[in-house]
Amino acid sequence: MPFNLLVLFCLCYVVMLFLVAFLAERRAAEGRIGWLRSPLIYTLSLSIYCTAWTFYGAVGYAARSGLEFVTIYLGPTLVFIGWWWVLRKLVRIGRQQRVTSIADLISSRFGKSNLLGVVVTLIAVVAATPYIALQLQSVTLSFAVFASGTPEGWALPNRDATAVWVAGGLALFTILFGTRNLDAKEQHHGVVLAIAVEAVVKLVALLAVGAFVVWGIGGGMAAVFARIEAASVPDWVIKPDRWFGMIAVSGAAVICLPRMFQVMVVEDGDERHMALASWAFPAYLMLMSLFIVPIAVIGLERMPEGSNPDMFVLTLPLAEGQAGLAMLAFLGGFSSATSMVIVESIALATMVSNHVVMPLWLRLAPQSAMTGDVRRIVLLARRLSIIAVLALGYVYYRMSGGSVALAAMGLIAFAGVAQVLPVLIGGIFWRGATKSGAVAGLAVGFCVWAFTLLLPFFGPDTVLSAAVFDHGLFGLGWLRPQALFGVTGMDPLVHSLFWSAALNTAAFCLVSLFTFPGPVERMQGAAFVNVFDADAAGPQGWARGRAEPEALLVMAQRILGEEAALSLFEGEARAQGKGGYLPDATPDFVAGLERRLAGSVGAATAHAMISQIVGRATVSVEDLMAVANETAQIMEYSAELEAQREELTRTAGALREANEKLKQLSVQKDAFLSQISHELRTPMTSIRAFSEILTEGDLPPEVVANYGRIIHDEAIRLTRLLDDLLDLSVLENGSVQLNIGLVNLQQLLDRALAAASHTRPERDFTVLRDLPAESLFLRTDGDRLVQVFINLISNARKYCDAAQPELKISVRQRSGRVMVDFVDNGSGIAKQSQGIIFEKFARLTDQSRAGGAGLGLAICREVMANLGGQVTYVPGRGGAAFRVTLPFRLEKRAA
Amino acid sequence: MAKRRAPLFLKRKSYRLRRLRDAARLLPLVGGFLVLLPILWSPSGSSGADTAWDGIYLFVVWFGLVLVAAALAPGLVHDAPEGDGGDGEPR
């Protein structure tokens, strides 16, 4: 097959993946999640466990050591059919704590410690690098097989260039779909669906090759069985230590691998999904390994001596002249490699940005955390991390020379991530596990793994000198990398596994026993271990009443985005029985907000950011008592009292607020009466005075004209005031006649802008609009709506105090309603005044008394109420921001 | 007789549910045992010609585990209450 055609095929395949991901993202953005989150997709996405290592390497593995390759799948099988033990709890914790990665889970469990996050991130990156290199290698190898045209072809003119192209393309795809949104909890629908498609592709490809080998070449089941029985080459002797060790390490890896954790817990954890995956994923693994042995045996039989068994899946169909099948097999291998790299780099990038970049940035520039745009920085950090992770994999690939057997590299990575398991299991089952213990366990495990497995893998005299191999570190005989403590004769992998697991667990347990956890740590420990108890919700140590809700809102907007943050705050405010967007910063609310933010930037960072606003978290004695189970009953009682007390406090607060408002209103009413008499009297006085002069007669005609005009102007002013008052009373009575028709929002805004331009025309006023979003049709009363718009725009023109005044009009649609925002860049409206601006006769300043009597916003409010919508003030947007919300279709009221 | 605070015997349905969970917990242990069994019947040193039969055995066990897990899974999700219910018997 021509090489160019192959590249074309690959590109088509990638374009199709892009399309799938893109459509899924769009569907999700429209809120039609539906089957995107079905258990089936979930199970298929789990198949990233099967990488190119499975696809190509398993056959090579079977050709070298017989049935031992199944251990890699038996471990995960046991873990999944035993989901009731560990996975169920992990998934529940992941959902409750909004975990973003395995590093985040561990850091969160041990008191939101960032040190632990960094340690786990480090382990994950070091272990994943060879794994990513392995995928690049297998794709390059498979290209090479096609390129040379001969089955044993090895020499592709520029293999490195291929690897660079592959790595670059993967980085692009990952950045495009992996870092579009920030909240790791609600994203990646595109990636997950693409992964699911790839899962099907690789399964179909491997089964097709297997079926071809068994029925096409081998001559049916029985014949192949006989051949396997007779074959001498995979002479398999079960090695009990390796058999057991590899089942254990692959079982550990399926929980701890960053990419598995990403799809299993972070993307879409749900008990329903888990239940299907508990048997469907093992079934998938079984199908993947069903034909491995036949392919290996027939391959060894038919292929020439010395051909690479890792590539049998490709070379066997090629040698038999089945180009189409070989193409399918190639795509299968390609998709296993790409899906793995994409998810792994997303997972690692999340860890690196949340646990390394963000904390560093918060420390270096604590002020900018409160003022800068956090979202952009987090996304940038993630994108750079993705590139860095892939670059690291590429460098490793170049360094290792791309010559090592696939399986060996994969197993090293497995053993590396398995070091996290003791701490993970200890963390979710044992309340006594402490942060110091976890750090000690992880550090010991990582060092032992690196010293006994990772570094020796490069061979003597590369990283470790030959002297270290023979005589141990520092010449100490018991520190030989492959014979620790003088234990010789063990398989190097099992040796490393045994010692790292033993020392890791021992350090973790011993240090945990002798250290004392901090308060936050104890609370988190209780929340994790007792996750199935409904009321263990984690620490709520935020001091009462110290947080300014508006500051919290501003910060939340920077991380979650304006819309999400506003609706979160609005919902909470409603739950507290308040209107508007600013709820009270109760400890419950702050804790919930922290968890929500943790879904975006990780627990440790979220904790640090909130504490910059709220102050240090203080864990009170009552909070600690909640941890102790013995006092649970007393606590329950006092919690009830507490709830009642809080309810009372809230009611009292609401009453106080209402009272305050009433007082202000009464003051305003008095002010209005004097105001209205003043407003009525001033024009009246001048009308009377000038008409008196006119009745005297005997005046030059130009003076008569002048006085007549003054009288006319004053009469108009009077009429306008009376019109406004009349209008308001009609609107308030609800007896207004609406003229409902189909109107274009854009035209309405044009009209409003034109009409409002008479207000302070001397000011240079910039209006920013979003024309495409505006072009939509509404069924409502257009004239009334324009009246509201004119009012809001003229208000901005009148009161915006910026040197370069600017008004931004943006239009959004959400659940059948249209929201039109008018945001200017002035100093906004002070918090204490926000409640009364919509009241009648409220005027905040006496600056530019050009307007009416302070009825504008009151009329707006009544108009919108009549149109089935509302107009509200949105705090925390920089300047004064008004939001007009109305339904697409206003139904005629039932008369 | 004094009133009991909790019923001594559970209703049939919740009793079944708890036993189902026990079965789900036992399954991986059984699976582990079956999967580790080949260690016992392949003494090291013998020639490795039994790949085919070992393979058949392993795949049959595998398939059986998948079937049992598939049979248990639906019952575990439906009306699973919030509590863990780990202790099996009422307190």
- The answer to whether residue A80 sits within a structural domain is yes
Query: At A797, which helix (H) or strand (E)?
Result: helix A782-799
For residue A145, the Cα-to-chain-centroid distance in whole angstroms is 39
Quick check: A310 pLDDT over 80?
yes
What pLDDT is attached to residue A155? 47
Residue among B21, B58, B69 minimizing CB distance to A282: B69
> Is the same domain home to A726 and A769?
no
Q: Say which residue the tokens 């009349």 belong to.
A: A726
Quick check: A549 pLDDT over 80?
no
Average pLDDT in chain B: 74
Interface size between A and B, measured as CB pairs under 8 A: 115
Q: Nearest-CA neighbor of A124 among A416, A402, A525? A: A416
Q: Could you tell me if the ipTM is greater than 0.95?
A: no
Contact A290 B59 (CB under 8 A): yes
Q: Give phi and psi for A780, each to the nearest 5.
A: -165, -175
Name the A residues in 677-696 with CB < 8 Å from any B CB. none
Quick check: B16 pLDDT over 60?
yes
Contact A66 B25 (CB under 8 A): no
Q: Nearest-CA neighbor of A775 among A803, A750, A744? A: A744
> Is the same domain home to A718 and A801?
no
- B-chain residue closest to A75, CA distance: B32
> Is the same domain home to A785 and A728?
no
CA distance A43 to chain B (A): 13
> Is the same domain home to A700 and A849?
no
Residues in chain B within 8 Å Cβ distance of A280: 70
* A340, two tokens: 């793995």
Quick check: A419 pLDDT over 70?
yes
CA distance A272 to chain B (A): 6
The CATH code of the domain that includes A840 is 3.30.565.10
Residues in chain B within 8 Å Cβ distance of A66: 48, 51
CA distance B64 to chain A (A): 10
Last residue of a domain, one of A397, A420, A443: A420
What pLDDT is attached to residue A680? 78
> Is the same domain home to A661 and A769?
no
**Any chain B CB within 8 A of the CB of A698?**
no
Quick check: A283 pLDDT over 60?
yes
- The answer to whether residue A433 sits within a structural domain is no
Which sign does the torsion angle of CA B23, B27, B28, B34 carry?
positive
- Mutation site, B65, B82, B84, interface A, largest A CB count within 10 A: B65
- The answer to whether residue A70 sits within a structural domain is yes
* A700, two tokens: 């030059």
- The answer to whether residue A671 sits within a structural domain is yes
How many Cα atoms occupy the beta-carbon half-sphere of A817 within 13 Å? 15
**Cα-based torsion angle of the residue sequence B40, B43, B49, B54 in order, rounded to the nearest 10 degrees:** 10
**Any chain B CB within 8 A of the CB of A282?**
yes
- Mutation site, B37, B39, B47, B66, interface A, largest A CB count within 10 A: B66
- Mean pLDDT lowest for which of A113-127, A147-161, A804-818? A147-161
Q: Say which residue the tokens 């204490």 belong to.
A: A832
**AA identity, residue A175:** I
- Mark out the alpha helices in A515-631 (DSSP H runs): 519-529, 549-560, 562-575, 587-601, 603-614, 621-627
Last residue of a domain, one of A376, A405, A420: A420
- Mean pLDDT lowest for which of A42-46, A199-203, A438-442, A753-757? A753-757
Quick check: B2 pLDDT over 50?
no
- A-chain residue closest to B33, CA distance: A78
Contact A66 B65 (CB under 8 A): no
Which sign does the torsion angle of CA A314, A398, A50, A234 carry?
positive
**Cα A690 from Cα A710, distance rounded (Å):** 8
**Cα A572 from Cα A566, distance rounded (Å):** 10
**AA identity, residue A662:** L
* A517, two tokens: 């956890």
Residue among A66, A240, A282 minimizing CB distance to B48: A66
What pLDDT is attached to residue B83? 40
What pLDDT is attached to residue A570? 82
Residues 6+ positions from A822 with CB-CB distance below 8 Å:
A792, A793, A796, A807, A808, A809, A881, A882, A883, A884
Q: Say which residue the tokens 């609706």 belong to.
A: A567
**Cα A336 from Cα A332, distance rounded (Å):** 6
- The answer to whether residue A575 sits within a structural domain is no
Residue with more model confidence, A338 or A561: A338
- Helix-helix angle A292-302:A58-65, to 10 degrees: 70
> Is the same domain home to A690 and A797?
no
Residues 6+ positions from A773 with CB-CB distance below 8 Å:
A810, A811, A812
Classify A8 as helix, strand or coil. Answer: helix
- The answer to whether residue A499 sits within a structural domain is no
> Is the same domain home to A727 and A760?
no
CA distance B73 to chain A (A): 5
**Any chain B CB within 8 A of the CB of A13?**
no
The Cβ of residue A378 has, within 10 Å, a number of other Cβ atoms equal to: 24
Domain that holds residue A706: 652-733
**Any chain B CB within 8 A of the CB of A293?**
yes
* Tally of structural domains, chain A: 3
- The answer to whether residue A592 sits within a structural domain is no
**AA identity, residue A627:** V
Residue among B46, B52, B82 minimizing CB distance to A532: B82
- The answer to whether residue A436 sits within a structural domain is no
Q: Quick one: average pLDDT of A163-167?
A: 79
The B-side interface with A (CB below 8 A) comprises: 21, 24-25, 27-29, 31-32, 35-36, 38-39, 42, 44-55, 58-59, 62-63, 65-70, 73-74, 76-77, 80, 82-84
Residue with more model confidence, A606 or A110: A110
Quick check: A728 pLDDT over 50?
yes
What pLDDT is attached to residue B81? 45
Residues in chain B within 8 Å Cβ distance of A79: 28
The Cβ of residue A498 has, within 10 Å, a number of other Cβ atoms equal to: 18
What pLDDT is attached to residue A479? 73
H helix count then E strand count, chain A: 39, 9
> Is the same domain home to A769 and A868?
yes
Contact A67 B25 (CB under 8 A): no
Residues 6+ positions from B63 with CB-CB distance below 8 Å:
A286
> Is the same domain home to A66 and A8?
yes
What pLDDT is attached to residue A617? 53
The CATH code of the domain that includes A192 is 1.20.1730.10
Last residue of a domain, one of A681, A700, A733: A733
Residues in chain B within 8 Å Cβ distance of A67: 51, 54-55, 58
Contact A278 B46 (CB under 8 A): no
Residue with more model confidence, A373 or A704: A704
Tell me the DSSP string of A462-511: TSS-HHHHHH-GGG-TTEETTEETT--SS-HHHHHHHHHHHHHHHHHHHH
> Is the same domain home to A758 and A804?
yes
> Is the same domain home to A118 and A198?
yes
> Is the same domain home to A689 and A766?
no
Residue with more model confidence, B65 or A726: B65
Contact A77 B31 (CB under 8 A): yes
Residue A618: which pLDDT band, with cuts at 50, 70 and 90? low
